[in-house]
Structure 1
Amino acid sequence: MAVPRDWHHPEQGPSLTVEVSRHRATDTAGRHGVLMMAAGGPGASGLNRPVNLAHYAPGLAATYDIVSFDQRGVGSSTKVTCADQPTVDAYFSGDKRDRSAGALRGTFARARAFVRDCQRHANDLLPYITTEQAVHDMDLYRALLRARTISYYGPSYATVLGASYATAFPHRVARMVLDSNVDYTGTWQSFMEGQPSSFQRRFDKDFLPWLAKNDGVYHQGRTPAQAKASYERLRAGLHAHPLVLDGTTITPDQLDTLASSAIYQADPGFENLATALMALEHPDTASPAVKQTLAKAMAHPVDARFAADFFSVTCNDTPWNRSTAYWIAQSDRATRDHPLVGARVLAYSAVCAAWPRSTAPHLHVTGRDLPPILMLNSVHDPATYYEGALRDHRALPTSRLVTVVGGGDHGQFQNHNACVDHLVEGYLVNGTLPPTDTTCAANPLPVPSGVTRG
């Protein structure tokens, strides 16, 4: 569909294209209407989500036309372009724990260069890659589908889109599920400043104990403290001598990125990360297939296309502190206290500190005039931390919160958790909500391949 570049001045500038997808309801007689989905990130594609959900939940596929889209700036829609992949690879490689003056100057210089690349390549598109503009795109899609209201499911960043849509168009919302919630009560800066703590909690409380329990398989240490020391020894070795693996040069930052990505989902993430740690520790004995897979996974810490949209949205949506001194002090604390991702905070914040000042409207989520909403979050989610979900829950008075206890996967629905799936599908199909906030047990942690559960 064609959408205005700027919904507030639709007559100015060429229109953009938003690519959309639909899986039609299989039970036309029992059809409820439209279930709209959106992707996370910001920067991920949504086009395949309807068909994937239809396969996972046939009951929803029977009841709803399931629709989704690539958000403006993403994928098959009008894309925003910033730096090329080698430039992004260089920016997110190295060792961000290096707090020397030269290293800090280099981070800020590369951030400014990245922003200049965005301004040069984006053809004046940057100011319009925002959540608020995307919300209007969503409502146009609803109108083109001739739906008076929509139901909605969104995980991660898509909770921001959903809550923002509900704020702008509360009477267009029938039912809404918000899964793994970004803290949309504050700013992107405040949310991202909270992430180092939650990533470290997931790593320390869930992954390291699991790794120690399976020391007979992975040989990283019999206690969480020993397993953490093994990780730090490997990281220090990569700082002193970056490893070339099947043509990919691997640095400490890439190890941290691999680890932080793997712990989003315990299955298969924990086993994949543990296998990677063994291979990186003893590359000479790793199989060619393992080395090839690992080199491919670590070659590009952040996809350049994803980075272009991610920074456009997060830097435009809400204000950012622009003080170099502030970010050096803040990242010093994060690196010391929560080193897994605290060390890379500066790489992200330095970009938004250098971003052109945004005049984009900001939708302050109010929760007024909304139907009941179902929210989901795990207690140890690394990316969308539980404390933020609680603040979101308070901001949406009609919401019910399902807390997934005993784990920390990111994304609860479609995660093969029968308790969560039952609650979500019961709500979307029948409108049934739990009478009060409730809990579901997390999925059991994975058993390493070849090991019998006992």
Structure 2
Amino acid sequence: MTRFPRGAALAAAVLLIAGCSGGDDEAGDGKASASSLASQKLDWGRCKATPEGPAPGGDWQCATLKVPLNYTNPDDGTIGLALIRSKATGDDDERLGSLLFNFGGPGGSGVSTLPSYAGLTSELHERYDLVSWDPRGVAESEGVRCRSDKEIQAGESVDATPDDTAEEAAFFKDAADFGAGCEKAAGKLLSHVSTAETARDMDLMRQVLGDEKMHYFGISYGTELGGVYAHLFPRNVGRLVLDAVVDPTADTVGHAKNQSVGFQRALDNYLKSTGQDPEEGTRKIEDLLERIDAEPLATTSGRELTQTLATTGIVLPLYSEQSWPTLTSALDAAEDGDGTELLALADGYNERDPSGRYGTTTHSQRVISCLDQKERPTPEETKKLLPEFREISPVFGEFLGWDTAGWCHDWPVAGLTDSPDVSASGAEPVLVVGNTGDPATPYEGARKMAEELGEGVGVVLTWKGEGHGAYGSGSDCVDSTVNSYLLDGTVPKDDKVCT
């Protein structure tokens, strides 16, 4: 069972090429408060290869930051967070400090992603040290692996849109088993991977890096994290960019409805681009998925393409307009009875390599989001919502509707909040960038984020484009506006529109 990421982790998974080592600290090792840890010195050194990829070359350096496992109880000890940086390339007297990146998920590895993203930020790199990290519970920072590769592949056979009582029982058993695996793997860390704790890690990081203010670039889920940071530390906010913005007012069901809207909107736009009527094209895809549900498609690998995997495969290319031709090819092949291309797309989403090894981004995503989200819809409540989900999106609605009950079903720890508080009275202006065609974080979220940040804080920049995120997606208007804000402190007029 898989939730569509509220972040750039999905797109970044395709780009994961590098990493570095985190610490060897076990959760709870050591004893220190946040105030005492603020004086620690980072031992920057050569990055090492990780399961996500080889070590990056060039000027990339890695280090481990010690943070409290539990900010309210120093006796619980510390954990190590893996950091990566590349120092500013320009003159020292023009350096602005560190620019911290979070690429979303939750659960995306910043250590692995930043080197591949840095090419888009060369102008920023002249005056900023580019910095990212693996948040607590992610990859090299006490990353959680909830099940084996064999168990993950077996789980892919579970129907994420159950059609009868047997499939429903299997769906919820798989969800409960996943949670039990996470509890066994993470132990007491499972209760300390919240977004609020990660925001506190960020402020500790700011102090250790020697920055008076937090300069930050958050993408998708990274916008939620940035908003929570601004709420907790409004006086420490420097220049914050939030791109591909999560609706901070949405609860579990609200997020699922938002994504149903966003992915159906993106699918409609894709269908229009191929000369199809969106309603007719949607019905054709619905019919294809129903046939696959009844009889999975064969592939050249010998594995079967199930309805769940096919839906996942359709999702991936909607994250980028440049990938739409790939979707056309995969759908055409599936109509001809060959599921190979859609399965390859699903494998890309699920971080499955040709050898059958899976990444763990979705594991970290789940442990973080299930701790953050208090709402736990029951199976009965979800079933009542399914007609509304189907109405919103005939292709993705039922998948996302069932997910509201299955994602955190029988989870070992209780969720913390219905929705995050991002009000940031007193903070400097925060640039909120929304893309009207964004599938994973629909444009409406940018408006909600700006409103919740507060008057005079949230400043909206709109791009009339396609795909997940706006910066670096081909708009000179967006890129120059963001760069001017980050480099010169130039705040654009609220509601500026880039076409």
Q: With the length of structure 2 as denominator, give the TM-score of the two structures.
A: 0.79
Is 1:22 paired with 2:85?
yes
What's the offset of the Cα at 1:6? 1.2
2:485 aligned residue = 427
Distance 1:415 1:439, change over 3 A: same
Aligned residues: 422
Alpha-carbon distance between aligned partners in 2 of 1:22 and 1:317, rounded to the nearest angstrom = 28
What's the offset of the Cα at 1:169? 1.2
1:311 match: secondary structure: helix
2:336 aligned residue = 282
Alpha-carbon distance between aligned partners in 1 of 2:347 and 2:172, rounded to the nearest angstrom = 23
Distance 1:151 1:300, change over 3 A: closer
Alpha-carbon distance between aligned partners in 2 of 1:272 and 1:367, rounded to the nearest angstrom = 42
2:325 aligned residue = 271
Residues 376 and 409 in structure 2, CA contact (< 8 A), matched pair in contact too: yes
1:216 aligned residue = none
What's the offset of the Cα at 1:98? 4.0
Q: Aligned to 2:99, which of 30, 35, 43?
A: 35
After superposition, residues 66-145 of structure 1 pair within 5 angstroms as 66-93=130-157, 95-145=159-209
1:311 aligned residue = 366
1:125 match: secondary structure: helix
Alpha-carbon distance between aligned partners in 2 of 1:225 and 1:335, rounded to the nearest angstrom = 13
What's the offset of the Cα at 1:281? 2.4
1:449 aligned residue = none
1:448 aligned residue = none
Alpha-carbon distance between aligned partners in 1 of 2:432 and 2:136, rounded to the nearest angstrom = 26
Is 1:342 paired with 2:397?
yes
2:20 aligned residue = none
Is 1:239 paired with 2:293?
yes
What's the offset of the Cα at 1:378? 1.3
Q: Out of 55-64 and 329-338, give the one that drifted further.
A: 329-338
Residues 107 and 347 in structure 1, CA contact (< 8 A), matched pair in contact too: no
Shift >4 Å, 4+ stretches: 92-95, 359-363
Is 1:177 paired with 2:232?
no
Counterpart of 1:416, as a letter, is: G
1:298 aligned residue = 346
Percent identity between the aligned chains?
29
What's the offset of the Cα at 1:111? 1.2
Counterpart of 2:294, as a letter, is: A
2:319 match: secondary structure: coil
2:304 match: secondary structure: strand
Q: What is the CA deviation profile of residues 339-387 of structure 1, one whole-angstrom value per residue up to 9, with x for unaligned ones?
A: 3222222135323242134265785211211101111111231111122
Q: Out of 54-63 and 341-350, give the one that drifted further.
A: 341-350
* Structure 1 unmatched ranges of 5 or more: 214-221, 442-454
Is 1:230 paired with 2:289?
no
Q: Aligned to 1:404, which of 460, 463, 467?
A: 463
Q: Out of 105-114 and 86-95, give the one that drifted further.
A: 86-95
Residues 264 and 383 in structure 1, CA contact (< 8 A), matched pair in contact too: yes
Q: What is the CA deviation profile of residues 220-265 of structure 1, one whole-angstrom value per residue up to 9, with x for unaligned ones?
A: xx54444334323332332232112122210111111111221111
1:29 match: secondary structure: helix
1:383 aligned residue = 440
Is 1:4 paired with 2:68?
yes
Q: Out of 229-238 and 112-121, give the one that drifted further.
A: 229-238
1:47 aligned residue = 111
Q: Aligned to 2:411, which of 355, 371, 378?
A: 355
1:202 aligned residue = 266
1:436 aligned residue = 494
1:378 match: secondary structure: strand
Residues 156 and 179 in structure 1, CA contact (< 8 A), matched pair in contact too: yes
Distance 1:317 1:340, change over 3 A: same
Q: Out of 296-305 and 318-327, give the one that drifted further.
A: 296-305
Is 1:374 paired with 2:422?
no
Residues 316 and 345 in structure 2, CA contact (< 8 A), matched pair in contact too: no
Residues 250 and 298 in structure 1, CA contact (< 8 A), matched pair in contact too: no
Alpha-carbon distance between aligned partners in 2 of 1:37 and 1:390, rounded to the nearest angstrom = 22
2:243 match: secondary structure: strand
C-alpha root-mean-square deviation of aligned residues, in Å? 2.3
1:278 match: secondary structure: helix
Is 1:63 paired with 2:127?
yes
What's the offset of the Cα at 1:301? 5.5
2:50 aligned residue = none
Alpha-carbon distance between aligned partners in 1 of 2:180 and 2:206, rounded to the nearest angstrom = 36
Counterpart of 1:44, as a letter, is: G
Residues 130 and 313 in structure 1, CA contact (< 8 A), matched pair in contact too: yes
* Structure 2 unmatched ranges of 5 or more: 1-64, 352-358
Alpha-carbon distance between aligned partners in 2 of 1:380 and 1:123, rounded to the nearest angstrom = 40
Distance 1:174 1:323, change over 3 A: same
Residues 382 and 404 in structure 2, CA contact (< 8 A), matched pair in contact too: no
Is 1:327 paired with 2:382?
yes
1:219 aligned residue = none
1:411 match: secondary structure: coil
